[in-house]
């Protein structure tokens, strides 16, 4: 059976939640492989809205196994809160349909405190994080001082881990003017939350291996977008993990041969939340119109998203670094009514034309877009479920995007409703 990785191919907020939900109907296992509760997925099912930030999108569908892999940093308090919220909406959640990797590192209250203190220091240091402790938790993971899910089951190990954490964090906290860690309070908080988390803890690598051997269809779900990847994003204005498709296998404990199809989620225009370069950003009425029509506010933060025309240069680049097999083009309906559309096809850097975004931050900031103009359409594309329902100009726009990014469209989304989707290539096809 085919196994599919879903990744955002821009700066996140591309509509992954709907697409993952749409695909999850054909999957047996849905696995989150990176990020934390800074992800924001909004699902609309039969008019009912579910907002997820940590749990895999498949959790709202019965008969599916949802998995949080070792590549995710887990805030246990947020996990418990999100589970309770979804149960309040009638979603059944138990250790039978939700499993968490025993080796997933935890996000602690001290991580959020450090994150927010750093962001509040100076304008120069500001990255634009959500302030939820994602970055500091990943720092502790690679610094070999993280507390992991399995540690919650052993008091002696927990005490040792907290002592090691304090040796590092208290020095940082002094420099930032934060009070030292209250060891006993932290330990007690972990003891209290442990019984609510440990029932879900499993050797996820084994669960996933067994599922694959049994011929189960696996859907790997990423958070954020490839342009926020720690290696290939617009560094340092990035997230603290690898977002691209190669992380999917590592983030759940499988090998790269487990991946059969990579679906890149792409908006029909471009948005970004927070700081960092954005060559095709619009600071005019068109940008405002895109934001208003697309309801461009962050699911997690509520922050207004920056908007711009479709940037084919960036998407072509992310399709290459993630090995994208096909894209799911979302929010085409937001472009309804624009008389003229523009697509960024290259950059001008000090008089030199580039067909990629350079790595150096100062060069990224100096890149200006080179646009190609296309006719827009006045017809309504919202809710279209076949090519025949789309105006000719819209089809021409989609086909031109395919040419420019050198990757075919596999799915086309025309509204937040899951059924308003045009299937071109089934990613799960054997």
What amino acid positions are annotated as catalytic residues?
13, 41
The answer for 172, left when phi > 0, alpha when psi is -120 to 50, beta otherwise, is alpha
Count of Cβ atoms closer than 10 Å to residue 142 Cβ:
10
- Angle value at C-alpha 136, between 183 and 33, nearest 5 degrees: 115
Do 97 and 64 touch, CB atoms closer than 8 A? yes
Dihedral through CA 352, CA 309, CA 321, CA 253, nearest 10?
Answer: 150
β-pair type (306-308, 270-272): antiparallel
Q: Is 429 in a helix, a strand, or coil?
A: coil
Half-sphere exposure of 116 (CA within 13 A, CB side): 8
The owner of tokens 């007690």 is: 188
**What secondary structure, in 3-state letters, does 394-410 show?**
HHHHHHHHHHHHCCCEE
- Single out the residue of 133, 364, 312, 134 nearest to residue 230, CA to CA: 134
Burial of 377 (0-12, 13-18, 19+ CB in 10 A): buried
Backbone angles phi, psi at 345, to 5 degrees: -115, 0
Q: DSSP of 180-238, one letter per residue?
A: PP-HHHHHHHHHHHHHHHGGGEE-HHHHHHHHHHTT--EEEE--S-GGG-TTTSSTTSS
Q: How far does Cα 226 stand from its chain's mean position?
A: 8
Q: Which residues contact 226 (CB under 8 A, 6 or more apart)?
A: 7, 8, 9, 10, 232, 233, 243, 244, 264, 318, 321, 322
Do 185 and 8 touch, CB atoms closer than 8 A? no
Do 127 and 139 touch, CB atoms closer than 8 A? no
């Amino acid at each position: 059976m085919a196994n599919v990785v879903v990744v955002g191919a821009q700066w996140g907020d591309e509509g992954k939640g709907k697409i993952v939900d749409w695909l999850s109907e054909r999957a047996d296992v849905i696995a989150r492989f990176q990020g934390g509760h800074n992800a924001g997925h909004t699902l609309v099912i039969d008019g009912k809205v579910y907002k997820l930030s940590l749990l895999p999108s498949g959790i709202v569908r019965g008969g599916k196994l949802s998995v949080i892999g070792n590549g995710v940093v887990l805030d246990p308090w947020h996990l418990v809160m999100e589970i309770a919220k979804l149960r309040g909406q009638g979603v059944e959640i138990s250790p039978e349909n939700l499993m968490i990797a025993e080796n997933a590192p935890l996000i602690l209250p001290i991580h959020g405190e450090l994150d927010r203190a750093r962001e509040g220091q100076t304008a120069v240091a500001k990255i634009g994080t959500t302030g939820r402790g994602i970055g500091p938790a990943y720092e502790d993971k690679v610094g070999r001082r993280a507390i992991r899910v399995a540690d919650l089951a052993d008091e002696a190990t927990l005490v040792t881990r907290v002592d090691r954490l304090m040796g590092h964090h208290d020095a940082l906290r002094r420099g930032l003017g934060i009070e030292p860690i209250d060891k006993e309070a932290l330990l007690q908080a972990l003891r209290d939350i442990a019984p609510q988390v440990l029932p879900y803890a499993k050797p996820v690598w084994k669960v996933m291996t067994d599922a694959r051997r049994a011929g189960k269809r696996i859907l790997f779900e990423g958070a954020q977008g490839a342009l926020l990847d720690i290696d290939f994003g617009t560094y340092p204005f990035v997230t603290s993990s690898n977002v691209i498709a190669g992380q999917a296998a590592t983030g759940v404990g499988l090998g790269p041969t487990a991946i059969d199809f990579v679906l890149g989620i792409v908006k029909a225009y471009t948005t970004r939340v927070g700081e960092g370069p954005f060559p095709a950003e619009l600071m005019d009425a068109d940008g405002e119109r895109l934001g208003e029509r697309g309801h461009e506010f962050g699911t997690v933060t509520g922050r207004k998203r920056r908007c711009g025309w479709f940037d084919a240069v960036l998407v072509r680049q992310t399709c290459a670094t993630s090995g994208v097999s096909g894209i799911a083009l979302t929010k085409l309906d937001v472009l309804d009514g624009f008389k003229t559309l523009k697509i960024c096809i290259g950059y001008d850097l000090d008089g030199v034309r580039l067909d990629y975004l350079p790595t150096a931050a100062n060069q990224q900031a100096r890149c200006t877009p080179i646009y190609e103009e296309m006719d827009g359409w006045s017809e309504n594309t919202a809710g279209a479920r076949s090519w025949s329902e789309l105006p000719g100009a819209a089809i021409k726009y989609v086909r031109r995007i395919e040419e420019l990014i050198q990757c075919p469209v596999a799915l086309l989304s025309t509204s937040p409703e899951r059924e308003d989707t045009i299937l071109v290539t089934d990613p799960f096809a054997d």
